[in-house]
Amino acid sequence: MSKETMTTSNPGTETEDDDSLASPTPGSEAVEESSPSRSSGSERTVIESRNLDVYYGTEQALQSVDIQIPERQVTAMIGPSGCGKSTFLRCINRMNDLIDAARVEGDLLFQNKNVYDDDVDPVALRRRIGMVFQQPNPFPKSIYDNVAYGLRLQNKTENLDEKVEEALKGAALWDEVSHQLDESGLELSGGQQQRLCIARAIAVDPEVILMDEPASALDPVATSQIEDLIDELAQDYTVVIVTHNMQQAARISDKTAVFLTGGELVEFDDTQKIFENPEHQRVEDYITGKFG
């Protein structure tokens, strides 16, 4: 597996247009459903791992993970610290390429194509699979320029104002910032900054949004806004979210994957089933707070 050298913190957006990994616009063909009927809707698999192992040097961080992540639902990854949640998330859009010691074995399929195949361009992949991190990381630019950033890199500047507005609306931020688009993104509150990062991610029209503990640096009100937003995003996007907050997973996700120490995916099922009647004693012990 070749390693790419990347230099920015927003690897979804840094090259010119390249549609080699492009597909029809997501969501254009299906009737949209809103939660809670969403979980009984499309079960089409968008992301699938088979026998996925990840090592950092000699340490194994994920062990033979098999999972099928459904389209336009919220899939939560939970488990104790160090169990490999972030590692798994980073496999999906090949962010682990950026970690020298990381080695991936097995298959990670996105739309039935192995993202680790030699002919996959990780930059094009990351345009289709955007990412939001724990710490909001707006660029030191205006609110407008943050959202326009990826579109400009892709030369998609036609109707730029409309696209920026649409992305900010999609991130539930427009009403709060529409009169201050020229002000720095860094002047916003933490919760607004995180929604700005979500706007930046959705501006380039991805199919999947990966979120690694997106609310854990935020206060309860901002957290609640992000949770509401995630529910809305899942009408248009496949959302995969890592959280260490079990109540949050129970509140916002359709499916839950429970990883436990050693990098094992112990159970993956409908969120309600995981929280009310898990198959594995170890999962029940974790959910009920006996460890972790």
Ligand X SMILES: Nc1ncnc2c1ncn2[C@@H]1O[C@H](COP(=O)(O)OP(=O)(O)O)[C@@H](O)[C@H]1O
Residues of this chain that bind Mg ion (CB under 5 A): 86
Say how far apart CA 84 and CA 229 lie, in whole Å: 25
Smallest distance, Mg ion to C-beta of residue 83, A: 9
Taken as a whole, the chain contains a residue count of: 292
CB 32 within 8 A of CB 233: no
Smallest distance, ligand X to C-beta of residue 57, A: 7
Beta pairing partners, 69:
47
Identify each DSSP E strand in 25-126 by its residue range: 45-56, 59-70, 74-78, 102-110, 113-114
- Choose between 203 and 239: whose C-beta lies nearer to ligand X: 239
Smallest distance, ligand X to C-beta of residue 121, A: 23
241 binds, among ligand X, Mg ion, none (CB under 5 to 8 A by kind): none
SS3 of residue 234 by DSSP: coil
Taking CB atoms within 8 Å and a gap of at least 24, the contacts of 268-277 are 268/67, 270/39, 271/39, 271/76, 275/246, 275/250
104 binds, among ligand X, Mg ion, none (CB under 5 to 8 A by kind): none
- Choose between 97 and 145: whose C-beta lies nearer to ligand X: 97
83 binds, among ligand X, Mg ion, none (CB under 5 to 8 A by kind): ligand X
CB 45 within 8 A of CB 107: no
End-to-end Cα distance, the chain: 34
Count the Cβ atoms, other than its own, within 10 Å of residue 291.
Answer: 10
- Choose between 150 and 292: whose C-beta lies nearer to ligand X: 292
Smallest distance, Mg ion to C-beta of residue 17, A: 32
278 binds, among ligand X, Mg ion, none (CB under 5 to 8 A by kind): none
Say whether the peptide bond before residue 36 is cis (omega within 30 degrees of 0).
yes
Say how far apart CA 195 and CA 3 lie, in whole Å: 31
- Choose between 64 and 184: whose C-beta lies nearer to ligand X: 64
Residue in 245, 249, 248, 279 with CA at minimum distance from that of residue 265:
279
262 binds, among Mg ion, ligand X, none (CB under 5 to 8 A by kind): none
185 binds, among Mg ion, ligand X, none (CB under 5 to 8 A by kind): none
Smallest distance, Mg ion to C-beta of residue 134, A: 8
Smallest distance, ligand X to C-beta of residue 255, A: 17
- Choose between 36 and 262: whose C-beta lies nearer to ligand X: 262
Smallest distance, ligand X to C-beta of residue 143, A: 30
Catalog residues that contact ligand X under the rule CB under 6 A. 56, 61, 79, 81-87, 99, 101
- Choose between 129 and 265: whose C-beta lies nearer to ligand X: 265
Among all residues, whose Cβ is closest to Mg ion?
86
